[in-house]
Amino acid sequence: MSAVLVFALLLALPPGGEVPAPHQPKLPADAKDQARQRALELYARSLLFERDADLVQALKALEEARALDPESAALHKALTPLYLALDRQDEAFAAGAKALALNPGDHETAYLHARQLRNRKRFGDAAEVLARALDRFAANDRPDLKAQLALDLAAACDELGDPAHTEKAFRQALTVLDQRDAILETGKVSDDELTALTAETWERLALACTAQKKDGDALAAFAQARKLDPERGPRLAFHQAKLHEQHGRKEQALASVEEYLKSRPRGTEAYELKARLLRSLGRGGEAVAFLETAAKSDANPPALSVLLGKEYVRSGQSAAAEGLYRRVLTSHPTREIAEGLVGRLTAEPSRADALLTLLDQALTKANGREDKTPDANAAAQARAILAAVKRDAAATTKLLEALAQRLPAGNLGSETAGSLAELAERAGQLDLAERLFRAALRFGTNRDAEPEVYYGLLRVLRAGHKHQDVVDICRQGLQRAERTNRVLFHNYLARAQLALGRVKEALESADDAVNDSGDGQRLYSRRNRAVLRAEAGKLDDAVAECQALLREVNQPGDVAEIRHALASVWSLGGQPAKAEEQLVILVRDDPTNATACNDLAYQYAEQNRRLDEAERLARKAIELDRRQRAGGAEVAVDADQDNGSFVDTLGWVLFRQGKLDAAKRELDRATKLPGGQDSPVIWDHLGDVLSRLDDRPGAKAAYEKALRLYELEGRRRADDAPAEIRKKLRLLQP
């Protein structure tokens, strides 16, 4: 009896009706048959749970059924959408793959599994699954599904950059779409929707032909698309314009793009194309006039103003470009407009000071200095300018040079000093960043900005290994700061004292941090104290602190932070197995914990075991970190760059796997990233890779850099790394 029939019979029972006694076979069923029968009952139960929207219970029933009958393709197929609905992507993928392996002729499963493969960027595998499914179709079997499979195959081939197979798949789809009556009979699509889909398929076929320089076929396909869907005409005209331009038919291209522009498109590509065509036809003056008119009338003035500004520059009207950017920035403070203005103001070294003045004025207005209300528009302008400068290395250099010249005079707002200190820090100019943060304090920073300035100054001093300066600033802050939490100073003070070898004072400062902490900070301070105790060689005290915290808290996020601290404590105490135990728990409980994934990968690499799993975890950590920073609310100085420590982990794993060239690429990259530039561990790892690649001069330089950084760090590590590096350097000697 099929599962669907069982479900139908269950639903057909009258209210209060009795379930008939089950049929008793004359011969007892064997254990396998009994398991299948029980699996069938569980399958029917799962359908009832689904009907009641109880997906968790439905999933539980199906998983029990699968355990009883693991070779049932239907059970694996039914599990796939449930896993997807509950966002258990890996399990959904595995279930779909198993269902397809058990029943290769199931077109629906092939379609869904191919979608999952495409989501995982496995376009070649997706294309293979789809092609096999299409080959198994009977002539008139499910034309709607067959067309969708062909369209997905075309998309997969397009994602692979294979225009020839993309064209073939689109033509196959069009052959199926010609079976209009059969498709419409399914009731899954209306006549208008089918026409629109067919027109879109002709259009995408034309683009595949264009990619192969098959102009005649492309133009014929565009004509078919326009015939089926006249409203598609303007967009098709734009495609045709680009095709004409590629083959030097400039007048025809101009006519086609002008037809498209009548629809007033939101993007700028067509405007840029027309301006380019006019210039190539010797009508540059018309290009300027055209863009001036468009920028005034279009609903998207910032983007068109950027194009107009570039056109001004091309035609030698730099002053007009600067004036345009300044005007538009006040009403539409976007990064793109700011980039145009920054480009004009840094085109000549002498003009960089004008950019500094503009930024200083915007930041001063934004922060409401001189008893004025904070100006939100000025803040937006300042953010746009800073974003533009950060994207332009040459502009950053020129602005910082102008800043260094103006700083001694002191005629700079404290907000500007603080903001540009972060820019200098990002550029690796730690001395200038320090001067700017100190100037922000000296100029009398906005009270609300005081914590950020102190934090920035301490961060820069620690990055420069100026431990005594950190001590001095922390003591100053504890006496003078008005808005900065005292816990910040105690924690930085403890770290600096430990680096200077003042262990007793460091432990006392860590205690002060805990004692000064409010309810919201006490957990953080106690975790820091535990790790610092481990670094100071007080392993038993550190472990006891973490274990006490685990007994006191129950919030999952807090527990995770404590386990992470405990893993660090065990690692510092030379107990890698116990550190790994905590990290495994962390990754199990929260697979999206990027730091835990990274640290577990590093533990595996250090022990030279489970290296394939280590590589997966390391790559996952980098990707998770990217996504979390891109979607977070905080705006950090280095938010657009990978974490150097995470990249180092990947490089170290690759080294352990013997993939030396790949390891060198990642470790080279790590030394240039935040968290990597001044990390002795990363330079030590790079030295090991270069040594194995027989690059003795490179290895020597990397080891010497690591040794210098260890010496600058002072007493922050309890391991014998410096001694090991000296041994490696001796081995490199001829």
Nearest Cα neighbor of 275 from 259, 254, 306 is 254
Alpha-carbon torsion (642, 648, 651, 656), positive or negative:
negative
pLDDT at residue 366 tops 60: yes
3-state secondary structure of 338: helix
DSSP secondary structure string for all residues of 294-310: HHHHSS-HHHHHHHHHH
Residue 514 pLDDT level (bands cut at 50, 70, 90): very high
Q: At what angle do helices 233-246 and 250-261 cross, to 10 degrees?
A: 160
Residue 714 pLDDT level (bands cut at 50, 70, 90): low
3-state secondary structure of 633: coil
Q: Among 248-257, 540-549, 569-578, which is the least confidently predicted range?
A: 248-257
Structure-block tokens of residue 533: 């105790």
Provide the pLDDT for residue 407.
75
> Is residue 589, in this structure, part of any structural domain at all?
no
Residue 25's identity, in one-letter code, is: P
Measured CA to CA, the distance from residue 483 to residue 432 in angstroms comes to 25
Provide the pLDDT for residue 443.
67
Which residues 6+ apart lie within 8 Å of 668 measured at CB?
686
* Residue 663 CB burial class (10 angstroms; 0-12, 13-18, ≥19): buried
Of 17 and 39, which is predicted with more confidence? Answer: 39
Measured CA to CA, the distance from residue 142 to residue 603 in angstroms comes to 52
Annotate 432-482 with three-state secondary structure.
HHHHHHHHHHHCCCCHHHHHHHHHHHHHHHHHCCCHHHHHHHHHHHHHHCC
> Is residue 340, in this structure, part of any structural domain at all?
no
> Is residue 144, in this structure, part of any structural domain at all?
no
Provide the pLDDT for residue 608.
92
Q: What percent of the chain has pLDDT over 70?
A: 90
Provide the pLDDT for residue 639.
52
> Is residue 254, in this structure, part of any structural domain at all?
yes
| Stretch 458-466: mean pLDDT | 90
Provide the pLDDT for residue 411.
65
Measured CA to CA, the distance from residue 632 to residue 110 in angstroms comes to 36
In terms of pTM, does the model score above 0.85? Answer: no
Rounded alpha-carbon distances, angstroms, from residue 483 to 247, 410, 477, 493, 511:
66, 24, 10, 18, 21
Q: Among 60-74, 440-454, 590-604, which is the least confidently predicted range?
A: 440-454
Of 125 and 629, which is predicted with more confidence? Answer: 125
Residue 657 DSSP label: T
Whether the CB-CB separation of 360 and 413 falls below 8 Å is answered with yes
Provide the pLDDT for residue 185.
82
Residue 74's identity, in one-letter code, is: A
Provide the pLDDT for residue 444.
62
pLDDT at residue 732 tops 90: no
Nearest Cα neighbor of 161 from 120, 203, 211, 91 is 211
| Stretch 77-94: mean pLDDT | 85
Residue 559 pLDDT level (bands cut at 50, 70, 90): very high
Provide the pLDDT for residue 631.
55
Measured CA to CA, the distance from residue 320 to residue 302 in angstroms comes to 16
Of 11 and 220, which is predicted with more confidence? Answer: 220
**How many residues does this entry show for the chain?**
734
Print the domain residue range for 237: 190-263
Which residues 6+ apart lie within 8 Å of 397 measured at CB?
427
Domain count, the chain: 2
Residue 19 pLDDT level (bands cut at 50, 70, 90): very low
Residue 80's identity, in one-letter code, is: T
Which residues 6+ apart lie within 8 Å of 622 measured at CB?
594, 598, 642, 643, 646, 647, 650
Q: At what angle do helices 393-406 and 430-442 cross, to 10 degrees?
A: 50
CB atoms within 10 A of CB 27: 5
> Is residue 238, in this structure, part of any structural domain at all?
yes
| Stretch 432-452: mean pLDDT | 78
pLDDT at residue 3 tops 50: no
Most confident range (mean pLDDT) of 19-33, 34-48, 461-475 is: 461-475
> Is residue 120, in this structure, part of any structural domain at all?
no
Domain boundary among 230, 263, 296: 263
Q: Which residue has the tokens 């100190």?
A: 438
Q: Among 80-94, 362-376, 537-551, which is the least confidently predicted range?
A: 362-376
Measured CA to CA, the distance from residue 168 to residue 305 in angstroms comes to 42
Query: Which residues in 683-704 are b (16+ Cβ under 10 Å) and which e?
Result: bbbbbbbbbeeeeeebbbebbe
CATH number of the domain that 227 lies in? 1.25.40
Nearest Cα neighbor of 460 from 486, 484, 440, 446 is 440
Residue 359's identity, in one-letter code, is: L
Diameter of the chain measured on Cα atoms: 104
CATH number of the domain that 669 lies in? 1.25.40.10
Which residues 6+ apart lie within 8 Å of 5 measured at CB?
none
Structure-block tokens of residue 494: 């403890």
Q: For 47-84, how does the pLDDT look when each residue is reduced to its tens digit (9 = 90+)?
A: 888 888 888 888 888 888 888 888 888 888 888 888 88
Provide the pLDDT for residue 300.
64
pLDDT at residue 496 tops 90: yes
Residue 686's identity, in one-letter code, is: L
Measured CA to CA, the distance from residue 559 to residue 26 in angstroms comes to 59
Residue 54 CA from chain centroid, whole number:
33
Q: For 319-333, how does the pLDDT look when each residue is reduced to its tens digit (9 = 90+)?
A: 998 899 999 888 888
- The torsion of the CA quartet 290, 294, 297, 300, rounded to 10 degrees, works out to -170
Query: Which residues in 427-465 are b (16+ Cβ under 10 Å) and which e?
Result: bebbebbbbbbbbbbebebbeebbbbbbebbbbbbbbbb
Measured CA to CA, the distance from residue 215 to residue 232 in angstroms comes to 19
> Is residue 709, in this structure, part of any structural domain at all?
yes
Q: For 98-108, how does the pLDDT look when each residue is reduced to its tens digit (9 = 90+)?
A: 988 888 888 88
Residue 135's identity, in one-letter code, is: D
Q: For 289-338, how does the pLDDT look when each residue is reduced to its tens digit (9 = 90+)?
A: 998 888 887 666 788 888 899 999 998 898 998 899 999 888 888 888 98
Provide the pLDDT for residue 23.
47
Provide the pLDDT for residue 681.
93
Residue 571's identity, in one-letter code, is: S
> Is residue 680, in this structure, part of any structural domain at all?
yes
| Stretch 167-183: mean pLDDT | 84
Of 54 and 734, which is predicted with more confidence? Answer: 54
pLDDT at residue 21 tops 70: no
Provide the pLDDT for residue 2.
36
| Stretch 181-188: mean pLDDT | 82
Q: For 603-661, how does the pLDDT look when each residue is reduced to its tens digit (9 = 90+)?
A: 999 999 999 999 999 999 999 988 877 654 343 444 557 888 999 999 999 999 999 99
Task: Cite the DSSP H helix spans in 231-283.
Answer: 233-246, 250-261, 269-280
Residue 350 DSSP label: G
When the pLDDT of each residue in the chain is averaged and rounded to a whole number, the result is 84
Residue 409 pLDDT level (bands cut at 50, 70, 90): low
pLDDT at residue 38 tops 60: yes
Q: What percent of the chain has pLDDT over 90?
A: 28
Provide the pLDDT for residue 140.
59
Provide the pLDDT for residue 116.
86
Q: At what angle do helices 143-159 and 123-135 cross, to 10 degrees?
A: 150
Provide the pLDDT for residue 531.
93
Domain boundary among 236, 263, 290: 263
Domain boundary among 240, 263, 286: 263
Provide the pLDDT for residue 634.
40
3-state secondary structure of 588: helix
Provide the pLDDT for residue 9.
30
